[in-house]
Structure 1
Amino acid sequence: MNKETYVEVNRTSQYINKMRRFSVLIDGVEAGKIKDGGRLRIDLQPGEHVIQVKINWCTSQTVRFTLDEGEVLKFRCGSPVHGWKMFFALFYVLAAPEKYSFIEQE
C-alpha cells in the first residue's frame, strides 16, 4: 500500500506582507510559494529534512524534522511583526532579518 508522505504549511493572515508571497524552502531549495492565509502541500520522501520560509532577503530560522513513510507534518508560518511592532518593520528587515518571519511545527 502506498501511503502519502508530505508536509503542509499554513500561513497566518496578517496585514503586513498581505500582498506578498513567502517562499517555502525544503533542504535549501524552493519547494513553492504561499500567499497570505494560504496553505501549501509539499510531497516529500521520508527522511531528515529542514524547512524555512523566505521573503526577499529575510529568511526564517530553520526547523529540522524527520518524516516517516505515510506521515503528514503540519507547519505554521508568518511574521511576528504585527500590531505596534509594525512601526519597527524596517528595523527587522535591516538589522534582524532572521526575526522578520517564522515557521514552526503545529
Structure 2
Amino acid sequence: MQVWPLKASEHSIDLAVKMTATVVVRRPPGGYRDAMRRYKVRLDGKVVGKLTAGSELRVDVPPGEHTLQGTIDWSGSEIVRFVVTEDHVAIFHLAPAGSAVSFCQAFTSQGYLKLLREDGFL
C-alpha cells in the first residue's frame, strides 16, 4: 500500500466555489383570466419553466445582469433587465395585465402580461 506521495487524481478535492444568485417568479392564485393556461418564463431569452396559477419557479443564476420575460402564445410581458448579486434573491410577480375585458391586449406582443420585481428595483 502506497501512502506517500499521493497522486492528485487519486485524492483530489474540488475547491471550485460556484457563485450563484436566485431568481424567483411567482404567479398569483385566483382570477379566471388564463386560469387553465401556463405562462412560459424566459430568462436571458431561454424558456426555463412554466407557471400555472398559484405556482412559483426558482432558478439559480450567475451573479450579474439578466433579462426576464413572461410569455403566452404570441404575447407576453415586456422584457425586464435586472442585476442580481451573489447570494441574493430577485423576486418577480407575473400576472395578467389589465382585466379580463381588456381583449385588445391579446393582440399586442408585450402587453398581455405584467412582470414586476417585488422590491421595485430593476
Structure 2 length normalisation: TM-score? 0.75
Cα contact 2:92–2:117 (8 A) shared by 1: yes
Measured against aligned partners, the alpha-carbon deviations of 1:37-96 in whole angstroms (never above 9, x if no partner) come to 1111011111110101000111210111111110111000110232xxx2332x2112x3
Residue 56 (structure 1) aligns with: 73
| Counterparts of 2:59 and 2:77, CA distance in 1 | 18
| Counterparts of 2:92 and 2:64, CA distance in 1 | 17
Cα contact 2:19–2:63 (8 A) shared by 1: no
Gaps of 5+ in 1: none
Cα contact 1:4–1:70 (8 A) shared by 2: yes
CA RMSD of aligned residues (A): 1.6
Residue 47 (structure 1) aligns with: 64
Residue 26 (structure 2) aligns with: 10
Residue 117 (structure 2) aligns with: 105
Q: Of the candidates 54, 71, 84, which is equivalent to residue 37 of structure 1? A: 54
Q: Percent identity?
A: 32
| Counterparts of 1:60 and 1:67, CA distance in 2 | 20
Runs of 4+ in 1 over 6 A off after TM superposition: none
Higher helix share: 1
| Counterparts of 2:102 and 2:22, CA distance in 1 | 36
Task: Tell me which of the two structures has the higher relative contact order, counting C-alpha pairs closer than 8 angstroms and 6 or more residues apart.
Answer: 1
Cα contact 1:79–1:101 (8 A) shared by 2: yes
| Counterparts of 1:53 and 1:68, CA distance in 2 | 22
How far the C-alpha of 1:4 sits from its partner, in A, is 5.2
Cα contact 1:16–1:81 (8 A) shared by 2: no
Aligned residues: 101
State which structure, 1 or 2, has the greater radius of gyration over its C-alpha atoms: 2
Structure 1 length normalisation: TM-score? 0.86
